[in-house]
């Protein structure tokens, strides 16, 4: 692609993105499509001869886009609502243009040092302990797997050379994200050695049940080595009692990981810090800037107070990767399974600088306030009930009716194309989840979606 052709197509693409973001409300939140429909509409094999970029761009708009879920839509409230902010998109574009590999300091000094600088800035905003080491992975699932690997390295150093992991057990709550179990399975801990601890009426881990499970395992000769507490669970944004869990972890010599993948950014707000009490005692802590920090997917940040252990778990020192700076600079490849790494810090740097702490705080406060407002409307309508405490920006609610009626309500809302919600099941009860977190969501969107929900309920 010659420079002039690139320039012309590049301008077209930027114009398209600007229009797309400006007119995002005109798109249906969800596509009307079914499995295999898009695939069947595309050629079964790639072209032999190259095609003009105009044709590819046309096909993107006409063939691909109709099958896209618009995660950027301000009425996308399923799962957790995320945002590709303007500065984040620009950072992402430059990141792919540079195409550096951030495996070693020497392989791109800027990528390594900007990762250190942005994560230190973010650590300060979040009020996490001075000196914590930060590293960027793709997702929280990858981050937690590395946290468990570090915990394993700390407790079973012989595992590195092939020694067994006999009787290793780890703990999280029955409401934790299943990436913890997946990580434990991947690392050879085994699913049956992951204890899912029961929760209280607010869906938070019961510390007394954790203590009892740890004691029972010790009595049986097993080796508790890791516990994961969650601040903001995926189902309901419940908050585990991190300080009490830290007491148990310390007494048992276990690694404490805190999963704040979604709720973590709210630690920027002094009035929300109460929810993070005890996190300063964690061995590792994760949050996803791609969830609620307005940075495009993917970027997850893991902090640890014990980078030496993480490094011991993952560094090998191959001759062809040795550099003169190995003793004076961080080589991020030594802290994970990946060798090649993207320059993800660049987009986070764009976002943090563009909005500043004040800008980000204002958006987060809006979202927290919207959630309280919505919960108020739901409580004021006697057909509905709120199903879990609203501590962050997720509202769990349902019709006071059968599971089947609630499933039909959810289907009707989502089929309208005007909004997207997802669901969870709480103690056997089908519950709708309304997650707020998109940078464009405003009061009109919120009120519009709520009246849409009310209309769908009336039509049932
Ligand atoms: C979303 C989420 C995860 C998984 O995040 P990925 O980055 O998609 O792997 C883990 N834990 C919690 C609490 C989450 O909300």
Closest ligand 1 atom to the C-alpha of 139? 7
Distance 459 CA to ligand 1 centre (A): 35
Domains and CATH numbers, the chain: 3-84 (1.20.1340.10), 101-342 (3.40.640.10)
pLDDT digits over 45-79, tens only?
Answer: 999 999 999 999 999 999 999 999 999 999 999 99
- pLDDT higher than 80, residue 345: yes
Calpha distance 392→377 (Å, rounded): 17
Pairing of strands 384-386, 394-399: antiparallel
Q: Considering just the CA atoms, what is the radius of gyration of the chain in Å?
A: 23
Q: Is the peptide bond before 298 cis (omega within 30 degrees of 0)?
A: yes
Sorting pLDDT into bands at 50, 70 and 90, what band is 414?
Answer: very high
Please state the separation of Cα 257 from the chain's center in Å: 15
User: For residues 82 and 232, what is the distance between their CA atoms, to the nearest angstrom?
Assistant: 15
Give the per-residue pLDDT at 185: 96
pLDDT digits 0-9 by tens, 303-336: 999 999 999 999 987 777 788 888 889 999 999 9
How remote is the CA of residue 115 from the centroid of ligand 1, in Å?
Answer: 21
What is the structure's pLDDT at 323? 81
- Segment 157-173 shows an average pLDDT of 90
Residue 239 and residue 391 in contact, taking contact as beta carbons nearer than 8 Å: yes
Ligand 1 residue neighbourhood (C-beta within 6 Å): 80, 139-141, 177, 179, 230, 232-234, 259, 261-262, 288, 300
Six-digit token string for 328 = 């004076």
Q: At CB < 8 A and 24+ separation, what contacts does 361-364 make?
A: 361/268, 361/269, 363/294, 363/439, 364/265, 364/266, 364/268, 364/269, 364/292
Q: Is the pLDDT of residue 292 over 90?
A: yes
User: Are 153 and 312 in contact, with CB atoms under 8 Å apart?
Assistant: yes
Ligand 1 pocket test: pick from 177, 239, 297, 301 the residue with the most ligand atoms within 8 Å of its Cβ. 177
Mean pLDDT of the chain: 96
CA 123 to chain centre: 17
Nearest residue to 261 via CA among 124, 143, 103 = 143
The answer to whether the beta carbons of residues 85 and 439 sit under 8 Å apart is yes
The answer on pLDDT for 129 being more than 80 is yes
Residue 328: the pLDDT is 86
pLDDT at 164 over 90: no
Per-residue pLDDT tens digits for 177-227: 999 999 999 999 999 999 999 999 999 999 999 999 999 999 999 999 999
The per-residue pLDDT for 165 is 86
Query: Quick one: pLDDT at residue 208?
Result: 98
Q: What is the pLDDT of residue 419?
A: 96
Q: Whose Cα sits closest to atom 12 in ligand 1?
A: 261
Query: Which residue from 141, 146, 231 has its CB within 8 A of the most atoms of ligand 1, so it is best to mutate?
Result: 141
């Amino acid at each position: 692609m010659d420079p002039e052709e690139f320039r012309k197509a590049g301008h077209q693409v930027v114009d398209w993105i600007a229009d797309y973001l400006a007119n995002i409300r005109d798109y249906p939140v969800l596509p009307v499509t079914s499995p295999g429909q898009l695939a069947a509409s595309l050629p079964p094999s790639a072209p032999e001869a190259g095609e003009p970029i105009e044709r590819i761009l046309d096909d993107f708009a006409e063939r691909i886009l109709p099958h896209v879920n618009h995660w950027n839509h301000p009425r996308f409230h399923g799962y957790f609502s995320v945002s590709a902010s303007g500065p984040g998109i620009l950072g992402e574009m430059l990141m792919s243009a540079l195409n550096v590999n951030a495996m070693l300091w020497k392989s791109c000094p800027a990528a390594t040092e900007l990762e250190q600088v942005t994560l230190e800035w973010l650590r300060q905003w979040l009020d996490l302990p001075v000196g914590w080491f930060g590293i960027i992975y793709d997702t929280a699932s990858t981050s937690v797997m590395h946290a468990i690997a570090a915990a394993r390295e700390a407790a079973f150093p012989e595992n590195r050379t092939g020694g067994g992991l006999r009787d290793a057990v780890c703990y999280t709550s029955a409401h934790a994200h299943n990436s913890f179990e997946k990580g434990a399975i991947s690392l050879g801990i085994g699913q049956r050695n992951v204890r899912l601890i029961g929760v209280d009426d607010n869906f938070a881990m019961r510390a007394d049940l954790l203590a009892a499970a740890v004691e029972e395992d010790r009595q049986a000769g097993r080796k508790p080595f890791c516990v994961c507490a969650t601040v903001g669970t995926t189902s309901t944004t419940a908050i585990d009692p991190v300080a009490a869990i830290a007491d148990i972890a310390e007494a048992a010599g276990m690694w404490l990981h805190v999963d704040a993948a979604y709720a973590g950014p709210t630690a920027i707000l002094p009035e929300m810090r109460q929810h993070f009490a005890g996190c300063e005692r964690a061995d590792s802590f994760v949050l996803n800037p791609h969830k609620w920090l307005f940075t495009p997917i993917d970027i997850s940040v893991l902090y640890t107070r014990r980078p030496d252990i993480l490094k011991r778990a993952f560094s090998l020192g191959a001759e062809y990767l040795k550099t003169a700076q190995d003793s004076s600079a961080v080589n991020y490849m030594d802290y994970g399974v990946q060798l090649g790494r993207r320059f993800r810090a660049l987009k986070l740097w764009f976002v943090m600088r563009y909005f500043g702490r004040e800008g980000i705080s204002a958006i987060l406060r809006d979202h927290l306030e919207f959630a309280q407002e919505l919960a108020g409307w739901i409580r004021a309508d006697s057909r509905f009930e709120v199903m879990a405490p609203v501590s962050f920006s997720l509202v769990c609610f349902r019709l006071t009716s059968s599971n089947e009626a609630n499933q039909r309500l959810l289907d009707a809302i989502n089929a309208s194309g005007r909004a997207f919600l997802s669901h969870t099941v709480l103690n056997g009860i089908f519950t709708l989840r309304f997650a707020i977190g998109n940078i464009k969501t405003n009061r009109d969107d919120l009120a519009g979606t709520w009246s849409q929900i009310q209309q769908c309920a009336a039509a049932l």
